[in-house]
Structure 1
Amino acid sequence: MTIDAEARRVRTRAVIAAAGLSLVLVVAIVLGSRGLRDFDSALIPYTVATVFLTFGVAYRYLVWISAPAARRMFRKGLGTVFSWRNFRRAPTALPRMAATYLGFQRFLGARSHARWIAHQAMFWGCLLAVAITFPLTWGWFTFTGSSATGPGYEMRVWGFKVLGFSSSSLFGWAMYHGLDLAAVLVIGGVGFFLWRRTRDRAATTGQRFGYDFLPLLALLTISVTGLLLTFSEICLHGGGYQFLAVVHMISVVFTLVYLPFGKFFHIVQRPAAVGMQLFKHSAVTGAAATVGGATPGGSSAESGPLFPCRRCGEPIDTAPFVENLRGTMRDLRLDFDEWAEYCPRCKRVLRGGAYLQHVKRGF
């Protein structure tokens, strides 16, 4: 099978799977809103955008993991996540890595504490907004008055009462202003990154408007117009509310449609990193458990779980990870997979020596 034919086959399967997943979401919306009885027709544009978002994310994700490198890493990570042996050896490893790489993203803190704080503000702000907006848009959450008079309200999920609260209480205020709190967090994070992309030379060197600036501007527009809707309702008695609602809706729909095909797609890719980190962790703990004995391959594990560079002996990465990289290079028909067994410094030295011997000395 030619490369073009294989690519067409992958895209076709991705389209079919993404369409099926989108159809499942539509059915879930109908059932979760009790046959559309709890569905607000004014939110149809948002709902259509979420269905398209589901299609786009599923399509691009399936195409992404069909590439040799991503497919091999995805299978290794997924196999490690569902490995009973790894769970018995380190039952808390998966929750800890999910919290580290998905929740608190500690790897960003090693680069800059300010960037970490800004990223956390954006992350948790967006997560809060999605957790509130999507179920409300689909008609899964409803808020109804518990009586004809008084501030009591009931929150229902799929038609079932979950809790009751007073709209005049602090909890009630937080429930009805959750999106405003999310907007404040997002504006803080976006403001920092916009400032950085206009001031930091390292950030401005390779940035592109459509890839780097546009996502931030979209989030800023959503957040600002969302806060202005609340401002219009409370301070202006609804003045300009309809115009702001249209602008807010357009910005949200655009962002949801753009997400699968822009920089925001890394949000969907990030969970796969948990599997790869767990794959590395299991290789380290597995090799450490055999120290003093013999590994399955028969070689002593006293040298440690990391694979040493063939030239200088410095550790590169875990041995399974290096072998996985070599396998990916062979899948891509790259006939120099043995270079994966050299550290970056030795690769530069060897390339420089080859250039000196075969190119410069020829003049």
Structure 2
Amino acid sequence: MSEPTDVLAADPPPPPGAPQPPAPAGRSVTARATLAGTVVSLLLIAAIVLGSRLLRDFDSALLPYAVATVFLAFGVAYRYTVWVSAPGARRLFKKGFGSFFSAANFKKAPTALPRMIATYLGFQKFLGARSRPRWAAHQLIFWGCLLAAAITFPLTWGWFTFTSGSGSGPGYEMRIWGFKVLGFNSLNILGWLMFHGLDIAAVLVIPGASYFLWRRMKDRGAITGQRFAYDLLPLICLIVISVTGLLLTFSSIFLHGGGYEFLAILHMVSVVFTLIYIPFGKFFHIVQRPAAVGMQLFKYTARQDEQVFACKRCGEPIDTTPYVENLRGTMRDLRLDFNAFVEYCPRCKRILRGNAYLTHVKKGFK
């Protein structure tokens, strides 16, 4: 189907000898991703050894968790390298992190980055515009997982240790890298919170993950496009981890350790599986999100300079001029021959596509 030449005409081909944006070869991307994953994994292993004072503070019972975090580091670095090798993601990465560390942006709006980190990355206000229940559930999962990671990873790596001079408490000392940070009584409020931080995280995660699981079972729009391994499995894993973690506490307090070994193995398996799964499933968007925050900052600073691009047909503002030019460049990198189409707002695009279809396809039919 042909399109109107004033709208969808391709850009003129570059002159002979002009540099072409080379598409990254699959083998070279895989090699770079493997190298990045290996380097990050080795750095984490070195950090574990040094942070645990040459493994003196490392708990061998937590070895499976530590190994899983090494695989997690490899997977995240591998997947991230592959992701930023794509033209669109590469531009997002460069523009996003370029805005993060731009002195000019800091001078224009010194408070913009902290506010966007808080509202876009932390409290995710953009989700509230879609649905308040979804926003609330997402917040429960986000802060629950963040709290669990902040406790679990340092403990797993041997960076945090809790020691008692009497062997069984109630007085304990928390040390980081061998240095005493604070002492506390396990029987007071602070001590209870310190020892039950993971239980608090589980209580936050369970209702949030359950809401999304329920929604994916009931919402027709969600059911239509969902995949078990991508959409349902992560939620099930979060619930299993949280429930088994709470059951461990229940067993130790109320059952005098009954069934503790079985629950500990089940909990460990679920955590290890989830950590290894993160880089290759839906949770990878957690790693991608900071670059998106940078892009929001990139657009915000352009608006401050009143660099707004208006629709070529109706004159309504589309987005900032630098953002539109960045999108146009991405379409060139992908060799899509209709990058002039970015000059129109969504409504005008639909009108122009409809007119083109009516003119060039339906003209012979009544």
Please, what TM-score do these two structures have when normalized by structure 2? 0.92
Q: 1: distance between equivalents of 2:89 and 2:244?
A: 38
Q: What residue is the counterpart of 2:301 in the other structure?
A: 282
The Cα of 1:5 is off from its aligned counterpart by 6.6
Do structure 1's residue 309 and structure 2's residue 275 form an aligned pair? Answer: no
**Where does 1:203-282 land on structure 2 (aligned, <5 Å)?**
203-282=222-301
Q: RCO greater where, 1 or 2, for CA within 8 Å and sep 6 or more?
A: 2
Deviation of 1:89 after TM superposition, in Å, equals 1.2
Residues 114-129 of structure 1 mapped to structure 2, 5 A cutoff: 114-129=133-148
- Pair 315,34 (structure 1): closer, same or farther in 2 beyond 3 Å: same
Shift of 1:4: 8.1
- Residue type at the aligned position of 2:320: T
In the alignment, the residues of structure 2 paired with residue 245 and residue 230 of structure 1 have an alpha-carbon distance, to the nearest angstrom, of 10
- Which amino acid in 1 is paired with 2:260? Y
| Alignment partner of 1:140 out of 135, 153, 159 | 159
**What runs of 5+ residues in structure 2 fail to find an aligned partner?**
1-19
Partners of 1:29 and 1:139 within 8 A in 2: yes
* Equivalent pair of 2:169/2:186 in contact (CA under 8 Å): no
Residue 290 of structure 1: aligned partner: none
Quick check: 1:101–1:273 contact (8 Å CA) kept in 2?
Answer: no
In structure 1, the residue matched to 2:29 is 10
How far residue 362 of structure 1 moved from its aligned partner, in angstroms, is 2.6
Aligned counterparts, 1:132-171, within 5 A: 132-147=151-166, 151-171=170-190
Conserved 8 A contact 2:170-2:187:
yes
Q: How big is the shift at 1:202?
A: 2.3
In structure 2, relative to structure 1, the CA distance for the partners of 1:194 and 1:148 (3 Å cut) is closer
Instruction: Please give the per-residue CA displacement for 1:10-40, whole angstroms capped at 9, x wherever unaligned.
Output: 1101110110011000000000001101111
Q: Is 2:56 the counterpart of 1:37?
A: yes
Deviations 1:122-150 (A, max 9, x none): 00000000000000000000000144685
Structure 1 residue 205: Cα displacement: 2.1
C-alpha deviation, 1:195, in angstroms: 1.4
Aligned 1:35-184 pairs, distance under 5 A: 35-147=54-166, 151-184=170-203
Identity percentage over the alignment? 72
Instruction: Determine if the alignment matches structure 1 residue 356 to structure 2 residue 340.
Output: no
CA distance in 2, matches of 1:112, 1:164: 43
- 2 CA distance for matches of 1:150 and 1:199? 49
- Per the TM alignment, residue 355 of structure 1 is displaced from its structure 2 partner at its CA by 1.0
Q: Distance in 2 between matches of 1:113 and 1:160?
A: 43
1:141–1:158 Cα contact (<8 Å) kept:
yes
Task: Please show how residues 283-302 of structure 1 align to structure 2 within 5 Å.
Answer: 283-287=302-306
Stretches (4+) displaced over 3 A: 1-5, 146-150
Distance 1:184 1:149 in 2: 27
Post-superposition offset of 1:347:
1.0
Please state whether the residue corresponding to 1:205 is helix, strand or coil: helix
**Aligned counterparts of 2:256 and 2:130: Cα–Cα separation in 1:** 46
Confirm whether residue 197 of structure 1 aligns to residue 199 of structure 2.
no
Deviation of 1:231 after TM superposition, in Å, equals 0.5
CA drift of 1:7 comes to: 2.0
Which of 335, 338, 341 is equivalent to 2:340? 338
Does the CA-based 8 Å contact 1:226-1:248 persist in structure 2?
yes
Which residue identity is paired with 1:215?
P
Post-superposition offset of 1:201? 2.1
Find 2:322's aligned residue among 295, 320, 331. 320
Task: Mark the CA change 1:103 to 1:316 in structure 2 (over 3 Å): closer, same or farther.
Answer: same
CA contact (8 A) 2:119 2:125 kept: yes
1:19 pairs with 34, 38, 41, which one?
38
| Aligned counterparts of 2:291 and 2:55: Cα–Cα separation in 1 | 35
Instruction: Report the count of equivalent residues.
Output: 346
Instruction: After superposing the two structures, state which structure 1 stretch, 26-35 or 341-350, moved more.
Output: 341-350
